Amino acid sequence: MSEVLTATKKDAMFTNEDVEKMMHRFHYSEGTKEIIRNENLLPLGVLHRIHLTYPQHSGLKETGEFYFNDKNQYIGIKGFREIAKILSSHGIEIGHLEERELFIRVYRFMATKHVLNTINWADFKNDSKFQLVFPQPGMIRADITKAYLNAGSEEEREKIVKDYLHETNPHDGKQQLNKPTFINEDGEIEVVEGSQHKYPPVKLIFDMQTQNCFSFCNYCFRHAQVRHDEDMFIQKEIKQVHDYLREHKEVTDILITGGDAGYIKAKRYEEYITPIIEDPGLSHIRTVRLGTRVLTYHPELIITPEYNDMLKLFKRLYDNGIQPLLMSHFSTPRELLNISTIAAIRRLKAHGVTLKSQSPIMNHISLFQDKNGKVDVDRSAQNWIDLGNILAMLGLGFHSMYLARPTGEFHYFNQPVSEINKVFNKIYRSLASINRPSRYITQTSSAGKISLLGTVELKGEKYFALKFNEGRNMEWMDKVYLTHYDEVEKTIANLRPYEGDKHFFDDELIEIENKLHESIQTGRKK
Ligand code: SF4
């Protein structure tokens, strides 16, 4: 027994020479290699422990040559075809090319070389990153797909794509109503077009520099931003944000998001944070968050010398009592277990950045079915239990898990609330309390973020117990409420009220929505 253990341990050992070889495999520049060595970003102890504990997820011992070396991003149908060709030249056929292209024409496609090179192409169908980034058969409704594949001409295909595009639902939850308004210096109502302020403590900013992503996730909930639809949110003027914040002392956190906030340049970020640090009228801001998938898709950015300016700004915030926070979106262990992501995490942490992760639980990526098409509770839960433990080992907080909102190809990614409840229960009880998600699983609707607490039996009947985690009226958070148990419904907001035909907040929600609508219309007329 001990011999086996010793052999396993020996096999997993890493040496400095191994690290040099790994850095060479990732084609790091000399500047990046120097940073990694000087800042101790890949200590052997970390690599040993993670690989020994999670060999089934680890890419650390992979030595194969990378297939994607000539550019940083592969974009659109052209990029997709280039990828298929490169794979084909290595004997890998992903198949279903036309069907995958239909998805790309309706939504979009982009993949970084990092994400492509860290997919295990020997078993790509089961690789979570492949499922996350590549369009899959069955995503677009069967009738649309059939019509597209059978179309006789390019004009016909074009029409099918255009018609279907109008059917897709980029915004749910009445997001346009989240645009804040305020009385400006001239006493007029002004709409902050590139922001959302739905819950009192947090203001979201869709900055003009962050309207792109590094790679696109198949399930993106921000199609309007990603496709650059007419109704996208876009914040051009930074002063307007500060003016609004001076009037809103209830805001403690700003969240720069997108697209991907990892795109923000140091100069523009500095324009956001300098008044927050220096102006006493903004001393109520405690945290500056960046919502980004850079650690999954392009972690190499953070370990370049060019990123030093951003790191200085994070440190400046931290040294002024303001929390710089990077909210990442990990949903599978595989996203973390490569040297670029590990080194980037350690570099950010060394510069005072708090790191957390929140992500949706999605079919085929982080939620699995058995051969009979039923949710495989054990396998799905294990993905998240391993993820929670790896996040802890690297010092990231497991902020939250959520059910996706009904946007995009919702049917493909979601499962009934009742099944998700079983998976989440197992995750929650299997992790140590400090490594669990910081709240029960939620789903967002216009009313707010609603947590699914579990089930309860009353007089022989089963019900779901729910609680607001955030609400358009924050006082709604104080109540636990019930809905009928349902084995089919995938959207929490559609669950049938416990009594009558309304939830306790429904009437007030309509009132609030009407007022917000009126205020935005008045602001736009000025
Ligand atoms: S990173 Fe966010 S905005 Fe970009 S594609 Fe993924 S889900 Fe959409």
Would you tell me how many other CB atoms lie within 10 Å of the CB of residue 26?
20
Probe residue for ligand 1, chosen from 132, 134, 222, 327 as the CB with the greatest number of ligand atoms within 8 Å = 222
- 150: confidence class by pLDDT, cuts 50, 70, 90: very high
Q: Which residue has the tokens 């009353």?
A: 458
Cα–Cα distance for residue pair 330/54, rounded to 1 Å: 16
- 178: confidence class by pLDDT, cuts 50, 70, 90: confident
304 contacts: CB under 8 Å, gap ≥ 6 = 29, 31, 32, 35
Q: Does the pLDDT value for residue 190 go beyond 80?
A: no
Q: Kindly give the distance from the C-alpha atom of residue 447 to the centroid of ligand 1, in angstroms, as a whole number.
A: 23
Written as six digits, the tokens of 294 are: 């850079």
- Residue of 522 and 296 predicted with greater confidence: 296
Q: Does the pLDDT value for residue 224 go beyond 80?
A: no
Q: Kindly give the distance from the C-alpha atom of residue 212 to the centroid of ligand 1, in angstroms, as a whole number.
A: 8
Q: Kindly give the distance from the C-alpha atom of residue 132 to the centroid of ligand 1, in angstroms, as a whole number.
A: 11
Q: Kindly give the distance from the C-alpha atom of residue 292 to the centroid of ligand 1, in angstroms, as a whole number.
A: 8
Task: Give residue 1's pLDDT.
Answer: 38
Task: Give residue 6's pLDDT.
Answer: 43
Q: Measured between alpha carbons, how far is residue 484 from residues 347, 461, 501 in Å?
A: 48, 9, 11
Q: Which atom of ligand 1 is nearest to the CA of 259?
A: 3
Q: Does the pLDDT value for residue 4 go beyond 70?
A: no
Task: Give residue 425's pLDDT.
Answer: 98
226-248 b/e (C-beta count within 10 Å ≥ 16 → b): bbeeeebbbbeebebbbbbbeee
Q: Kindly give the distance from the C-alpha atom of residue 52 to the centroid of ligand 1, in angstroms, as a whole number.
A: 32
Per residue in 50-73, pLDDT (tens digit) is 999 999 999 999 999 999 998 999
Q: Does the pLDDT value for residue 400 go beyond 90?
A: yes
Q: Kindly give the distance from the C-alpha atom of residue 216 to the centroid of ligand 1, in angstroms, as a whole number.
A: 6
Q: Does the pLDDT value for residue 223 go beyond 70?
A: no
Residue nearest to atom 3 of ligand 1 (CA): 259
Probe residue for ligand 1, chosen from 220, 221, 294 as the CB with the greatest number of ligand atoms within 8 Å = 220
Q: Which atom of ligand 1 is nearest to the CA of 213?
A: 4
Q: Does the pLDDT value for residue 8 go beyond 70?
A: no
Per residue in 327-367, pLDDT (tens digit) is 999 999 999 999 999 999 999 999 999 999 999 999 999 99
Range of 144-158, 212-226, 403-417 with top mean pLDDT: 144-158
Probe residue for ligand 1, chosen from 112, 114, 217 as the CB with the greatest number of ligand atoms within 8 Å = 217
- Residue of 198 and 161 predicted with greater confidence: 161
Probe residue for ligand 1, chosen from 103, 213, 214, 405 as the CB with the greatest number of ligand atoms within 8 Å = 213
Looking at 201-353, which runs of residues are DSSP E strands?
Answer: 202-206, 253-257, 287-291, 323-328
Q: Does the pLDDT value for residue 511 go beyond 50?
A: yes
Probe residue for ligand 1, chosen from 226, 298, 328 as the CB with the greatest number of ligand atoms within 8 Å = 226
Task: Give residue 3's pLDDT.
Answer: 39
Q: Kindly give the distance from the C-alpha atom of residue 83 to the centroid of ligand 1, in angstroms, as a whole number.
A: 20
Per residue in 241-259, pLDDT (tens digit) is 999 999 999 999 999 998 8
Q: Kindly give the distance from the C-alpha atom of residue 154 to the centroid of ligand 1, in angstroms, as a whole number.
A: 29
Q: Which atom of ligand 1 is nearest to the CA of 216?
A: 5
Residue nearest to atom 8 of ligand 1 (CA): 220
Per residue in 79-90, pLDDT (tens digit) is 999 999 999 999
Cα–Cα distance for residue pair 495/501, rounded to 1 Å: 10
Task: Give residue 152's pLDDT.
Answer: 93
Range of 169-183, 194-208, 436-450 with top mean pLDDT: 436-450
Domains and CATH numbers, the chain: 2-53 (no CATH), 73-167 (no CATH), 175-521 (3.20.20.70)
Residue range 32-36: mean pLDDT, rounded: 98
Q: Kindly give the distance from the C-alpha atom of residue 219 to the centroid of ligand 1, in angstroms, as a whole number.
A: 8
Residue range 147-151: mean pLDDT, rounded: 96
Residue nearest to atom 5 of ligand 1 (CA): 216
Task: Give residue 258's pLDDT.
Answer: 86
Q: Kindly give the distance from the C-alpha atom of residue 74 to the centroid of ligand 1, in angstroms, as a whole number.
A: 16
Q: Kindly give the distance from the C-alpha atom of residue 213 to the centroid of ligand 1, in angstroms, as a whole number.
A: 6
Residue nearest to atom 7 of ligand 1 (CA): 220
Q: Which atom of ligand 1 is nearest to the CA of 223?
A: 8
Cα–Cα distance for residue pair 454/422, rounded to 1 Å: 9
Task: Give residue 358's pLDDT.
Answer: 97
Mean pLDDT, rounded, of the chain: 92
- 226: confidence class by pLDDT, cuts 50, 70, 90: low
- 225: confidence class by pLDDT, cuts 50, 70, 90: low
Q: Does the pLDDT value for residue 191 go beyond 60?
A: yes
Q: Kindly give the distance from the C-alpha atom of residue 226 to the centroid of ligand 1, in angstroms, as a whole number.
A: 7
Q: Which atom of ligand 1 is nearest to the CA of 329?
A: 1
Query: Are 128 and 361 a contacting pair, CB within 8 Å?
Result: no
Cα–Cα distance for residue pair 510/157, rounded to 1 Å: 41
Residue nearest to atom 6 of ligand 1 (CA): 217
Query: Are 453 and 492 a contacting pair, CB within 8 Å?
Result: no
Written as six digits, the tokens of 263 are: 């795109």
Q: Kindly give the distance from the C-alpha atom of residue 351 to the centroid of ligand 1, in angstroms, as a whole number.
A: 26
Ligand 1 lining (C-beta closer than 6 Å): 213, 216-217, 220, 222, 225-226, 258-260, 293
Per residue in 121-143, pLDDT (tens digit) is 999 999 999 999 999 999 999 99
How far is CA 221 from its chain centroid? 9
Q: Does the pLDDT value for residue 477 go beyond 50?
A: yes
- 2: confidence class by pLDDT, cuts 50, 70, 90: very low
Q: Which atom of ligand 1 is nearest to the CA of 258?
A: 3
Using the 8-state DSSP alphabet, how is residue 38 labeled?
H
